[in-house]
Structure formats: structure tokens, C-alpha cells
Amino acid sequence: LDELIKTKEDKRFREVYERICKYEEITDRMELEIANYLTKISEHELGHSASLKVSSMLRIVDNLESIGDSCNQIAITIDTKKKSGNWFEQDLRDKLKTMADYVRESLCLMDDNLHANYSDITAEEADKIEEKINKYRDQLRNEHTEAIKNNAYPYQTGIYYSSLYAQYEKLADFAINVSEAIEKAHE
């Protein structure tokens, strides 16, 4: 997504945009295949521990697919903004970059947790990141409301801006849900 936001060249923008769309389609297919497999497994009598693990895996797969959807939605919003000719002042770009950096933190933690020994995972760090992201989202929302009241930027620019920071926050929620699902697999 960073490359999509920073790219000014139309050809490169299209390449990145189409790659994001392609990966979103792949995540849809993967979710379906994995969920079908896990559902078949759960048709057999499972012990409590195995049942927890299958439930956790289903939640993980669902949230991973939702991450793909979120990335796609962010890409669509950026594309629509670009086509409309709207642009963000440096202040708005900086704030979106900060939000993206926080979201990247949640994604990196999720990735680390997916590759770790699941019995060692707690959601404590994910919860701290979520709190930081939600607090920043609330700050951006309050600032945005004031900016709209004061005509600090065009209303349509504000629509794109608020949509993007909200979509980033939702993306982080899905990543944090994965970390929480990993923890729940071993309760």
C-alpha cells in the first residue's frame, strides 16, 4: 500500500493497484479452500483442545482474508481519489503515514505470532498496539471534524482522508484479531 500511495507515475500505479486486486482474489480463494478443509475436519469428533485449534484456525483464516479485503478497499479509495484529482496537503499525508506505520506494527506482530510457537503467544502486545491505533484514529477523527467545520480542506478531500484512516484502523483490527485467535487456541 505504501508504494501505491507514493507512486506518482500512472503506469506504476496501475501495476501496483492491479497486483493488490489480484492478491485480494487469491486470499478469497485460499480462505474458501482452507475453511472447507477445516470444516471437514470439524465434522469428526474432536477433543476440546483440537476443537479450540480448529475454531482458532477458522478465525485466523477469516481475518487474513479480511486483511486482503481491507488492502483492496484502501487501494480502491486511493485510486478513486487519484482519478478525482483530489490531493492531500503534506499534513494529511504525514498523518496517514503515521497511521500506516502503526498498522504495519500490528501486521508485523501478527506475522511474528503466526510464525511463533502458538502456546507462547499472548494478546498483550496486540492489545497495546490496538489501543495506540484506536487513540490515534480518535485524534484524527476529532481533528478532521474541526477541519471540516473550519473549511481547512475541501469536503471531498476530507471524505477520502477520513475513509482512509478508518480503513487503516479496520485493517489493524483484523491483524490484531489474528493474534487474539492464536492466543485463544491454547486456553
Mutual orientation of helices 90-114 and 124-149 as an angle, nearest 10°?
160
Max intra-chain CA distance, the chain: 62
Q: Binning pLDDT at 50, 70 and 90, where does residue 6 land? A: confident
Give the per-residue pLDDT at 87.
Answer: 86
Q: Which three cell numbers stand for residue 2?
A: 505504501
Residue at grid coordinates 486483511: 67
Lowest mean pLDDT among 45-49, 52-56, 123-127: 45-49
Assign residue 86 a region (left: φ > 0; alpha: ψ between -120 and 50; beta: otherwise): beta
Give the integer Cα–Cα distance in Å for 45 and 24: 34
- Give the residue among 100, 104, 95, 75 at the shortest CA–CA distance from 142: 95
pLDDT in tens, 51-83: 888 888 889 999 999 999 999 999 999 999 989
pLDDT in tens, 101-115: 999 999 999 999 988
In percent, the amount of the chain with pLDDT more than 70 equals 98
Give the per-residue pLDDT at 32.
Answer: 87
Give the per-residue pLDDT at 187.
Answer: 61
Give the integer Cα–Cα distance in Å for 44 and 127: 34
pLDDT in tens, 158-180: 999 999 999 999 999 999 999 99
For range 119-136, the mean pLDDT: 91
- pTM score, two decimals? 0.87
